[in-house]
Amino acid sequence: MTTASIRPSSPTFEAPAVVARLRALGVGLGLVGLLGSIAGFFLAREYFFRAYLVGWVFWLGISLGCLAISMLGHLTGGDWQVVIRRVLEASSRVLPWLLVLFVPLVFGLPSLYEWARPDAVKADPVLQLKQAYLNPQFFYIRLVLYFAIWIGLAFSLSRLSRRQDETQDLSLMSRMRMISAPGLIIYVLSLTFASVDWLMSLQPHWFSTIFGFYLVASQALSGFAFLIVIALLLSRGGTMEGIYQPRHFHDWGKLLFAFVMIWMYFSYSQWLITWAGNLPEEISFFLARMRGGFGLVTLLIVLFHFVVPFSLLLSRDLKRNGRTLVLVAGGLLAMRWVELFWQVEPAFHGVHPSPANNAGFYWLYVAVPLLIGGVWLVAFSRELSSRPLLPIHDPYLPEAIAHGEHH
């Protein structure tokens, strides 16, 4: 059975209508976010930079999560990764745009991080001890190094995958596996350092040895949730109807379920170890996030980032139905944004004299991520339209899109 015989009407597997809708959505969201961001930049610049950090880390998490899933797919094989590979590759190729989108944070570094303010470092012995690592110059060097690694992995795999389409050279599959094996290890190590730089150092007196793994699980969760949303859009758009089958959604749903549990395991382990240690420098993180209104946000995360999706994903029927599974995936993406807000904002709670003033500019946590998301979606739609939606010369593709159950 050949690929062309399954969908003769669209042998290149393109989806111009879906791509056009994604691009239009990106432009619309970007314009709305731009208006709100401009207003917020002049009204509350500190909140603008905090919201920008949340939005940037959120959208970066989707690209890096898709890169990690792509490498995992090359190593493990299976129908689930063959049919969605082009979406994963397109998402990972947005990484250069995200490096450019970091530029506004350069101007907000002293606002976000105590260690970037010389006066704060002079007054704090702990910051002085950490100054060799936490300083703006080394921070930027590490940032460029992280992105050089991630972009190198993303484009190397995409280039080999495209060559396989052009040449039908099966030996390229082993080369992609050879890149993916060390690539996953390097990704986890680099993200561990990046998690310290971007999020943990917002509270430089606090530390957690499990925080890097926690962010890895978060990004994998974002990646799987995103690919489920895009897969449903493509299947409802007509081109991939009959290609993305219930068994594919079932596989993606099971992997989403697995990372919901992994995320909760790391989150709970971090809290449990902190509670057991009962040390002031450790409990400060959770005290700031369990008092006042942030305690309600904590409860919201526990319920809708774990309890509800965990309960729903136990259902086999739900996982096989793309229209119901996408509701869970979309909800988890929304909770990823809420959870990043919970990571960032409490670190600054009390900076302003009035809680009312604090809450008055929380709308920026919606506006600024919309601006970044608009740019991300436009770049993603461009990358998605640049290649066929399926790796048309992958030897496992005919089996992957054939109807029936495979295990």
**What is the predicted pLDDT for the residue at 239?**
73
Confidence of residue 236 (pLDDT cuts 50, 70, 90): confident
Distance, in Å, from the CA atom of 136 to the CA atom of 113, rounded to the nearest integer, reads 10
The single residue listed with the structure tokens 């004299």 is 353
- pLDDT at residue 372 greater than cutoff 80: yes
**What is the predicted pLDDT for the residue at 105?**
97
**What is the predicted pLDDT for the residue at 17?**
85
For range 167-184, the mean pLDDT: 92
**What is the predicted pLDDT for the residue at 178?**
96
**What is the predicted pLDDT for the residue at 242?**
84
- pLDDT at residue 245 greater than cutoff 70: yes
Q: Which of 29-43, 341-355, 383-397 has the lowest mean pLDDT?
A: 341-355
- pLDDT at residue 354 greater than cutoff 80: no
For range 286-305, the mean pLDDT: 92
- pLDDT at residue 11 greater than cutoff 60: no
Write out pLDDT tens, residues 100-141. 999 999 999 999 999 999 999 999 999 999 999 999 999 999
First-residue to last-residue Cα distance in the chain: 19
Confidence of residue 18 (pLDDT cuts 50, 70, 90): confident
Confidence of residue 97 (pLDDT cuts 50, 70, 90): very high
Long-range contacts of 164-167 (CB under 8 A, 24+ apart): 164/391, 164/393, 164/394, 165/387, 165/388, 165/391, 165/392, 165/393, 166/393, 167/393
Distance, in Å, from the CA atom of 26 to the CA atom of 375, rounded to the nearest integer, reads 6
Query: Which of 2, 68, 55, 19 is CA-nearest to residue 239?
Result: 19
Give counts: helices (H), strands (E), the chain.
21, 0
**What is the predicted pLDDT for the residue at 10?**
40
Asked if residue 94 lies in contact with residue 383, where contact means CB atoms within 8 angstroms, the answer is yes
Per residue in 210-221, is it b (16+ CB within 10 Å) or e — as a string? ebbbbbbbbbbb
Query: Which of 140, 64, 66 is CA-nearest to residue 98?
Result: 64
Q: 3-state class of 244 per DSSP?
A: strand
- pLDDT at residue 353 greater than cutoff 50: no
**What is the predicted pLDDT for the residue at 8?**
35
Query: Which of 243, 234, 194, 201 is CA-nearest to residue 11?
Result: 243
Distance, in Å, from the CA atom of 65 to the CA atom of 221, rounded to the nearest integer, reads 7
Asked if residue 219 lies in contact with residue 61, where contact means CB atoms within 8 angstroms, the answer is yes
Confidence of residue 350 (pLDDT cuts 50, 70, 90): low
- pLDDT at residue 146 greater than cutoff 60: yes
For range 71-94, the mean pLDDT: 94
For range 59-64, the mean pLDDT: 98
More confident site: 354 or 101: 101
